[in-house]
Amino acid sequence: MLHHPTVDRLHELRLFGMAAALAEQGQQPGIDSLGFEERLGLLVEREATHRHALQLSARLRRARLRFAEAVPEDIDYRTPRGLDRTLLARLLTGEWVRQHQNVILVAPTGLGKTWLACALVNQACRQGFSAAYLRMPKFNEETAMAHGSARFTTLLTQWAKTDILVLDDLAMTPLTDSARRDLLELLDDRHGRRATIATSQIPVEHWHEAIGEPTVADAILDRLVHNAHRITLAGESMRRRKSTLTTTNSTD
């Protein structure tokens, strides 16, 4: 049986997964032993898988994660850094996103807090959630430029509607008064409606002082901290440890 016209028509209909599967079926010995519904089911399943992969790729591309390669399968549970495996397993179910809760990751540099945040986002994107990544040391600049170009409202709306927003390196650099109020407005729009991940090298108890302007800091922390799952990491820098292992192995 000639499949080429049908494959071409499937391409015209943008059913690329089905087209590829049908072409492959034509090369599989014994495929004719399957009934019509079985073969059709295989084609439909392939199309669904293909579309899911495209959608996931698009979500990850729009998220613009710092570590796009971070996936939950590669999480290092062996290196001692205080990682709560039970809590992480619960977070990987995505229920915290559905419940519009937050995650706070605190750790000194080199322990993989940003990578871990990106892995959590990757998993959530697989589950159909949208995400965006913001590096907080550049927040002053980004919001100032947005105000200057009169697109701040559009940008704020986009961030507010995103299922997961990553605020990376929070409280690391001073915020301008305008940026503090922009951050409060952003978190106020998201509070109880969307999920947020915040990472920082600074312990949560020092965030109030780092944010500045006590009244605004109170409001920001109220919306970010009180309904958050906390992960605090400690130990030797993983980058330094890997560097030491590489040097040791190279001298063996």
87-110 pLDDT, tens digit per residue, is 999 999 999 999 999 999 999 998
Lookup: tokens for 239? 């980058």
Q: Tokens 């009934």: give the residue.
A: 35
Q: What does the pLDDT read at residue 249?
A: 53
Domain ranges of the chain: 4-62, 64-239
pLDDT reported for residue 17: 78
pLDDT of residue 164 exceeding 70: yes
Asked whether the beta carbons of 61 and 109 are under 8 A apart, the reply is: no
Q: Topology of 64-239 in CATH? A: Rossmann fold (3.40.50)
* Residue range 206-217, pLDDT digits in tens: 999 999 889 999
pLDDT for the residue numbered 246: 46
Other Cβ atoms closer than 10 A to 197: 30
Model pLDDT, residue 240 = 62
Residue range 8-43, pLDDT digits in tens: 888 888 888 778 877 878 777 777 777 778 888 878
Determine if the pTM surpasses 0.95: no
Rounded to the nearest angstrom, the gap between the alpha carbon of residue 146 and the centroid of all alpha carbons in its chain is 23
